[in-house]
Amino acid sequence: MKISHWLKMSAALSAALLLSATGHAQSAPEGKTELLWLGQASFRIKSPGGKVIVVDPWLSGGPKTPAPYKTDLSALGKVDVLLVTHAHVDHIGDAPAIAKLNNTKLYGPADMVTPLITLGLIPAELGHRFNKTGSVKPAPGIKVTAVAAEHSSLLVWKNPATDKMESHPAGEPVGYIIEMENGFKIWHMGDTGLFGDMKFISEHYKPDLVLMPIGGNFTMGPEDAAFAVKTWIKPKNVIPMHYNSNPLTPGTVAEFQAAMQGSTGTRIVPMTEGQKVEF
Ligand SMILES: [Zn+2]
């Protein structure tokens, strides 16, 4: 090969790697899964096959939602799969609006989706009800299984007819095992406290990456999260979430890392809101 050709190829390769490293690539490279953290428990996941999966999109109301997602739901791109773990506002967030904008079904715990439909937040054809250990295939090559989470779920909604806030029971919260076309599995835990079946879920579904709440107060704090990782889950990768959003989620990545001292075999991938990572 001529030197000039080699230099051109080398420059092109460097540009491609740079693009990937700075996270501005439009789609995940072939065979990769790309995660964008939008704050709290909100993630956009691009599958190796190019599907856009959105989980718990608290965007317009999220205090840490990065631009342009806070003001423009279409910035997510065409959403192929929409998942909500439970009805609390920091999880259901903009999900009804995203479902309608994309004409995409909102997948969630059965008894959360039902009041969304009966109260008129989404049309019936845009709600998909399922429940723990049930699986769905919401897009070709993508499989999602609902799993247990130790938390609560209540839908708070302003009734436009009375202009008053109402509280509605919204079933039980869940987490999700999200399997990509290439078999890569993400466990989005939703909001959860520590519970023993984390061990069962890990052994049964074998997630490659766990998105884990560490903020405390409403969920596990850093020490309980580290205990679960070290003792039961032992995943290859963990991304801390559900912290840095308000004074009621005080846990920090530094505290989580300190509690993980001495653990081997699990890579902690700390993220900042708006950052992308690839697996
Ligand atoms: Zn929450």
Condensed to tens digits (0 to 9), the pLDDT of residues 8-65 reads 444 344 333 333 333 333 455 578 999 999 999 999 999 999 999 999 999 999 999 9
CA 230 to the chain's CA centroid: 22
Classify residue 38: in a domain, yes or no. yes
Distance 197 CA to ligand 1 centre (A): 20
pLDDT exceeds cutoff 80 at 217:
yes
pTM of the model: 0.89
Classify residue 155: in a domain, yes or no. yes
Question: What's the CATH code of the domain at 112?
Answer: 3.60.15.10
Classify residue 233: in a domain, yes or no. yes
Classify residue 12: in a domain, yes or no. no
**Residue 253 CB contacts under 8 Å (≥ 6 apart), including other chains:** 214, 240, 243, 268, 270
Q: Which domain holds residue 150?
A: 29-278
Distance 40 CA to ligand 1 centre (A): 7
Classify residue 136: in a domain, yes or no. yes
pLDDT tens track for 86-144: 999 999 999 999 999 999 999 999 999 999 999 999 999 999 999 999 999 999 999 99
Classify residue 15: in a domain, yes or no. no
Question: CA triplet 224, 229, 235: central angle to 5 degrees?
Answer: 160
Both tokens of residue 222?
């850093």
Distance 20 CA to ligand 1 centre (A): 31
Mean pLDDT of the chain: 91
Classify residue 1: in a domain, yes or no. no
Distance 13 CA to ligand 1 centre (A): 41
Classify residue 170: in a domain, yes or no. yes
Question: How many domains in the chain?
Answer: 1
